[in-house]
Amino acid sequence: MDRKERAAFIAAQIKERISVLPKVGVVLGSGWNGVADLLKDKKTVAYAELAEMPRCGVQGHMGNFVFGRADANSVVAMQGRFHLYEGKGTETVVLPVEVMKELGVETLVLTNAAGGVNGGVRPGELMVISDHINLTGRNPLEGVAASEIKPVFIDMSDAYDAKLREKFVAEAAKTGVTVHSGVYAQMFGPSYETPAEIRMLGKMGADAVGMSTAVEAIYARYLKMRVFAVSCISNMAAGICAEKLRHEDVLAVLKERQQLFSRLMYGFISSL
């Protein structure tokens, strides 16, 4: 099976389990799982129930599709994404994006936890992604056959929808959450970056760094989806402050802010 056939096969299994197809898809990165808890009329479909669906292998990633409503909007929330550093190729990393497209998703919301590169963006704050730098050395369109309907030479000058960014900032203003706008750099991982790499990223114009999202955004734009992405700044990147980087500390910051950010995200999705 190629990627599209595999996605269609997985989507067909999901359609047998749900009654309403989603229009909004949300990829829940580390610390964002609370969004799924807020959905109404929920139906959970575990990855493990679906033939040909990969399994999650990262702490904090549960491995479920959660279907429901955010007020009038039908939503699928993806609890657990796949990463290049797990040894999974780009085809697997973007497979859920293709599945959501097969289900009818038109708007994709990407969330993640990220390290702050710009000293003005602090742990516990949010950064709406206005642009990205893909430093993984990989592209999800490698080997994809081009067609007139779906060219692979896609324009990435406005990858992240400006109107969606404005709407999120307006929603955040209602809750008092501090939101920045900036450039996100995706690295391959899984090791955190060195201080020298962070200095390089700063000079390149990055404001935050993580190990996901950019590759998914590229593929979503190829599928002609509207894309919005936001990072929770969970720590300052190496060399920005004296503290050592530990995954446990990252998760602790995310847990502290999860409820507040989940309510904000729910309000944003409801407003789409």
Catalytic residue numbers? 30, 61, 83, 85-86, 113, 211-212, 235, 247
Give residue 192's identity as a one-letter amino acid code.
Y
**Could you tell me the CA-to-CA distances from 13 to 22, 50, 74, 152 in Å, in that order?**
15, 7, 18, 28
Q: What is the DSSP letter of 177?
A: -
SS3 for 190? coil
Could you list the beta-strand ranges (E) of 17-72.
Answer: 24-28, 40-46, 64-70
Sign, CA dihedral 92-115-131-163, equals positive
CA distance 144 to 70: 34
DSSP labels for 68-135? EEETTEEEEEEE----GGGT--HHHHTHHHHHHHHHT--EEEEEEEEEE-STTS-TT-EEEEEEEEE-
Sign, CA dihedral 259-260-263-266, equals negative
